[in-house]
């Protein structure tokens, strides 16, 4: 029986065991009810307990989550404020854009740096901003190209240095901005590096230039010399290195002080620069030593003349504070590659040549090697003698006939220059044309040759000989002279020679500057003058110009003719030149024909005209007249 029921019975009815048996079933049923209540209560208790633990746990989690979110929010706030502060504090101009090219964020520095009005960034389009920036750049196209490239390649980086029209220099970085794996846009940052650049430039200047004269210093000289040697080596040309030492600078410096010394050095530098071409380098090595690099040296004689010019220029007094100071110079010359093929060797040799100049009494120049000195000296002598040759009437022309292969008649003559030197007698052009060319004297001499040749040809017609062409050689320098076309026109007019009887011979090298040459040739050809390419096959035979230029004749160089019978290459080249002339409808003439066998060979190939010792050597005008008359008589008799 349930204990509670037992206690109730005891309280109201006495001993529960003495309860009449008839009540038993009833009491059992009540007891079972009590027990059911008990078990129900226990169940409820249990459930309540479970529920309250769960509630408690849930509460705890919520509290934790809340705390975490608060923390996260404050962290975001902190980073945002940090970011903003950083953006505002940095000197860089920053522009952040999203992946659809809308402006997301920027800082004041960006606006100030680019002077961007608010409406441009507010327009929200990155293109508006980059276009606005581009307008301030010295090379806007490159920047816009980068910007377009980055639009097309959102994951690309870029770094550029931008130069603004106002002289500022900005470094520009552009990097993609990612969220996780995704590209969310990009960030542009611009840094003003103008001052750093200026400092770098100043430093570089100080490292490479002499503070007193502003000339390159030893450092830069070595760099330039090294580059020049490599350059000339590639082109197979020579260069000259001149070492200059002022003869009495030390005395000036010691007696008049450093300030006067410095001013003398500055004046010397100025005079040196005035003696040189823009492409030459003059440097100050320190003290009273200067150095000159002469690149693309035309001839030894040119260098000797330059050294002489420098010496002369410095021999004039320097006016300083009412005084006239004299400061002469000794010059040593070393030639690449003859004297040395490397930088240090050249410097050493130029230096020792300079000491030799000092030994020879100062105020003079010396080459490193004696024979070079001798050669330069002789050329200089020749130059001096040639200067007056034209006026003294020492120049004359010889004429060499040109024969038509088919008919054997004389169709032209070539005018060839000779120099009748008082001491040496008749000098061949091979010895002096180069000097005329290097010194520019060829322009005056060439003018004289042209006039003389045209007048002579006209005189041949006037004495009743059948009209023939006269070929006149035009050197590269003459061809470049400003008034060549006018000069030819005037000469023809003055002498009365018809243009068709004048044939100008130019070499392939002359045509290297295609554009300019084209214009000159067109004008000459337009006048009716004949044009020939002399020494064809020896120069840069760019076949393309033959088609483009109004050329009449190719003149095969005599070196091919010399060995045409023995050297199969020369024979093949000659055959090719003739075939080429055929297809381009050009006439072809061979020079240097000395034997009948050579003539036959050329005849077989189909060459039009020939010139050479086989028919006649170049001869004076009166001899040529006799020669022409005799040929005329012979052919009349034969007919």
**Site for ligand C2E, rule CB under 6 A:** 400, 416-417, 428-430, 433, 442, 446, 449, 473-475, 505, 534-535, 558, 591-594, 611-613, 618
Of 283 and 445, the one with the shorter C-beta distance to ligand C2E is: 445
Of 429 and 509, the one with the shorter C-beta distance to ligand C2E is: 429
Of 99 and 477, the one with the shorter C-beta distance to Mg ion is: 477
- Residue 342 near residue 229, CB atoms below 8 Å: yes
Q: 3-class secondary structure for 49-84?
A: HHHHHHHHHHHHHHHHHHHHHHHHHHHHHHHHHHHH
Taking the complex as a whole, the smallest distance from the CB of residue 629 to ligand C2E amounts, in Å, to 21
- Residue 472 near residue 503, CB atoms below 8 Å: yes
Assigned token pair, 223: 């760099």
Pattern 69-98, Mg ion, x by CB under 5 A: ------------------------------
| 3-state class (DSSP) for residue 367 | strand
Q: Strands 619-620 and 395-404: what pairing?
A: antiparallel
Taking the complex as a whole, the smallest distance from the CB of residue 615 to ligand C2E amounts, in Å, to 9
For residues 627, 631, 632 and 636, what is the CA-based torsion angle, rounded to 10 degrees?
160
Stretch that binds Mg ion, among 50-58, 88-96, 212-220, 470-478 (CB under 5 A): 470-478
Assigned token pair, 612: 């050479």
Task: Residue 537: name its binding partner from Mg ion, ligand C2E, none (Cβ under 5 to 8 Å by kind).
Answer: none
- For residue 494, the surrounding DSSP H or E stretch is helix 484-495
Taking the complex as a whole, the smallest distance from the CB of residue 484 to ligand C2E amounts, in Å, to 12
Of 59 and 428, the one with the shorter C-beta distance to ligand C2E is: 428
Taking the complex as a whole, the smallest distance from the CB of residue 606 to ligand C2E amounts, in Å, to 20
- Residue 453 near residue 415, CB atoms below 8 Å: yes
Taking the complex as a whole, the smallest distance from the CB of residue 164 to ligand C2E amounts, in Å, to 53
Task: Residue 475: name its binding partner from ligand C2E, Mg ion, none (Cβ under 5 to 8 Å by kind).
Answer: ligand C2E
Candidates 247, 383, 534, 609; binder of Mg ion (CB under 5 A) is 534
Long-range contacts from 607-613, C-beta under 8 angstroms, 24+ separation:
607/405, 607/556, 607/574, 607/578, 608/404, 608/405, 608/406, 609/402, 609/403, 609/404, 609/405, 609/411, 609/412, 610/402, 610/403, 610/405, 611/400, 611/401, 611/402, 611/403, 611/414, 612/558, 612/561
Stretch that binds Mg ion, among 132-140, 224-232, 486-494, 534-542 (CB under 5 A): 534-542
Of 116 and 441, the one with the shorter C-beta distance to ligand C2E is: 441
Task: Residue 416: name its binding partner from Mg ion, ligand C2E, none (Cβ under 5 to 8 Å by kind).
Answer: ligand C2E
Task: Residue 612: name its binding partner from Mg ion, ligand C2E, none (Cβ under 5 to 8 Å by kind).
Answer: ligand C2E
Of 302 and 618, the one with the shorter C-beta distance to ligand C2E is: 618
Stretch that binds Mg ion, among 68-76, 174-182, 467-475, 481-489 (CB under 5 A): 467-475
Task: Residue 298: name its binding partner from Mg ion, ligand C2E, none (Cβ under 5 to 8 Å by kind).
Answer: none
Taking the complex as a whole, the smallest distance from the CB of residue 414 to ligand C2E amounts, in Å, to 6
The torsion region of residue 468 among left (phi > 0), alpha (psi -120 to 50) and beta comes to beta
Main-chain dihedrals φ then ψ at residue 137, nearest 5 degrees? -95, 155
Candidates 174, 410, 473, 481; binder of Mg ion (CB under 5 A) is 473
Q: 3-class secondary structure for 513-530?
A: CHHHHHHHHHHHHHHCCE
Candidates 452, 535, 570, 609; binder of Mg ion (CB under 5 A) is 535
Of 210 and 535, the one with the shorter C-beta distance to Mg ion is: 535
Pattern 496-515, Mg ion, x by CB under 5 A: ---------x----------
Task: Residue 429: name its binding partner from Mg ion, ligand C2E, none (Cβ under 5 to 8 Å by kind).
Answer: ligand C2E
> What does the alpha-carbon distance between residue 536 and residue 168 come to, in Å, rounded to a whole number?
55
Could you tell me which residues are beta bridge partners of residue 324? 319
Taking the complex as a whole, the smallest distance from the CB of residue 147 to Mg ion amounts, in Å, to 59
CB neighbourhood size of 488 (10 A) = 23
Of 347 and 441, the one with the shorter C-beta distance to ligand C2E is: 441
Q: Which residue is nearest to ligand C2E (CB)?
A: 612
Taking the complex as a whole, the smallest distance from the CB of residue 469 to Mg ion amounts, in Å, to 13
Size of the site for Mg ion (CB under 5 A): 4
Residues 6+ apart with CB under 8 A from 260: 252, 253, 320, 321, 325
Task: Residue 302: name its binding partner from ligand C2E, Mg ion, none (Cβ under 5 to 8 Å by kind).
Answer: none
> What does the alpha-carbon distance between residue 285 and residue 307 come to, in Å, rounded to a whole number?
18
> What does the alpha-carbon distance between residue 329 and residue 560 come to, in Å, rounded to a whole number?
50
Of 505 and 609, the one with the shorter C-beta distance to Mg ion is: 505
Of 261 and 446, the one with the shorter C-beta distance to ligand C2E is: 446
DSSP secondary structure, 582-638, as one string: HHTT-EEEEE---SHHHHHHHHHHT--EEESTTT---EEHHHHHHHHHHHHHHHHHH
Q: Report the chain's terminal Cα–Cα distance, integer Å.
A: 175
Helical H runs in 153-217?
194-208
Assigned token pair, 120: 């441009």
Of 189 and 611, the one with the shorter C-beta distance to Mg ion is: 611
**Can you give the binding site for Mg ion, defined by CB under 5 A?**
473, 505, 534-535
């Amino acid at each position: 029986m349930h204990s509670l029921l037992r206690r109730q019975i005891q309280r109201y009815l006495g001993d529960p065991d003495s309860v009449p048996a008839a009540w038993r079933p009833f009491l059992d049923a009540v007891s079972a009810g009590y027990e059911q209540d008990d078990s129900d209560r226990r169940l409820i208790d249990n459930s309540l307990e479970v529920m309250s633990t769960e509630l408690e746990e849930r509460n705890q989690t919520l509290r934790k989550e809340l705390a975490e979110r608060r923390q996260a929010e404050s962290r975001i706030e902190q980073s945002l404020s940090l970011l903003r502060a950083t953006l505002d504090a940095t000197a860089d101009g920053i522009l952040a854009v999203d992946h659809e090219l809308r402006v997301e964020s920027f800082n004041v520095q960006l606006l100030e740096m680019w002077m961007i009005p608010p409406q441009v960034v507010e327009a929200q389009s990155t293109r508006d901003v980059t276009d606005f920036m581009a307008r301030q750049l010295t090379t806007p196209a490159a920047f816009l190209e980068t910007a377009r490239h980055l639009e097309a390649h959102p994951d690309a980086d870029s770094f550029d240095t931008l130069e603004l029209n106002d002289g500022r220099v900005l470094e520009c970085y552009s990097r993609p901005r990612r969220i996780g794996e995704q590209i969310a846009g990009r960030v542009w940052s611009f840094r003003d590096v103008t001052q750093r650049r200026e400092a770098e430039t100043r430093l570089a200047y100080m490292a490479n230039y002499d503070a007193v004269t502003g000339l390159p210093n030893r450092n830069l000289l070595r760099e330039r010399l090294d580059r020049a040697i490599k350059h000339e080596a590639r082109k197979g040309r020579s260069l000259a290195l001149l070492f200059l030492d002022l003869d009495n600078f030390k005395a000036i410096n010691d007696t008049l002080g450093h300030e006067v010394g410095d001013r003398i050095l500055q004046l010397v530098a100025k005079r040196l620069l005035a003696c040189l071409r823009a492409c030459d380098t003059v440097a100050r090595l320190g003290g009273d030593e200067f150095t000159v690099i002469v690149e693309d040296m035309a001839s030894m004689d040119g260098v000797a003349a330059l050294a002489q010019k420098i010496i002369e220029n410095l021999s004039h007094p320097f006016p300083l504070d009412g005084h006239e100071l004299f400061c002469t110079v000794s010059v040593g010359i070393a030639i690449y590659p003859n004297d040395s093929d490397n930088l240090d060797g050249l410097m050493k040799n130029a230096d020792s040549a300079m000491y030799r100049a000092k030994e020879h009494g100062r105020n003079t120049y010396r080459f490193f090697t004696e024979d070079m000195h001798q050669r330069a000296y002789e050329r200089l002598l020749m130059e001096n003698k040639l200067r007056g040759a034209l006026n003294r009437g020492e120049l004359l022309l010889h004429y060499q006939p040109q024969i038509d292969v088919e008919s054997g008649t004389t169709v032209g003559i070539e005018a060839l220059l000779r120099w009748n030197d008082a001491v040496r007698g008749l000098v061949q052009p091979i010895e002096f044309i180069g000097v005329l060319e290097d010194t520019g004297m060829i322009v005056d001499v060439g003018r004289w040759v042209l006039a003389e040749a045209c007048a002579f040809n006209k005189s041949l017609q006037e004495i009743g000989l059948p009209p023939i062409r006269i070929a006149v050689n035009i050197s590269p320098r003459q061809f470049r002279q400003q008034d060549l076309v006018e000069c030819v026109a005037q000469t023809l007019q003055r002498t009365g020679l018809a243009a068709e009887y004048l044939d100008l011979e130019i070499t392939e090298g002359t045509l290297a500057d295609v554009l300019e040459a084209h214009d000159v040739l067109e004008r000459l050809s337009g006048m009716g003058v004949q044009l020939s390419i002399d020494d064809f096959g020896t120069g840069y035979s760019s076949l393309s110009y033959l088609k483009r230029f109004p050329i009449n004749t190719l003149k095969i160089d005599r070196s091919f003719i010399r060995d045409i019978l023995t050297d199969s290459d020369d024979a093949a080249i000659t055959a090719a030149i003739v075939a080429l002339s055929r297809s381009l409808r050009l006439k072809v003439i061979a020079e240097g024909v000395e034997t009948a066998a050579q003539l036959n060979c050329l005849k077989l190939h189909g060459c039009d005209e020939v010139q050479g010792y086989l028919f006649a050597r170049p001869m004076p005008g009166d001899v040529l007249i006799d020669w022409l008359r005799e040929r005329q008589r012979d052919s009349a008799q034969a007919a």
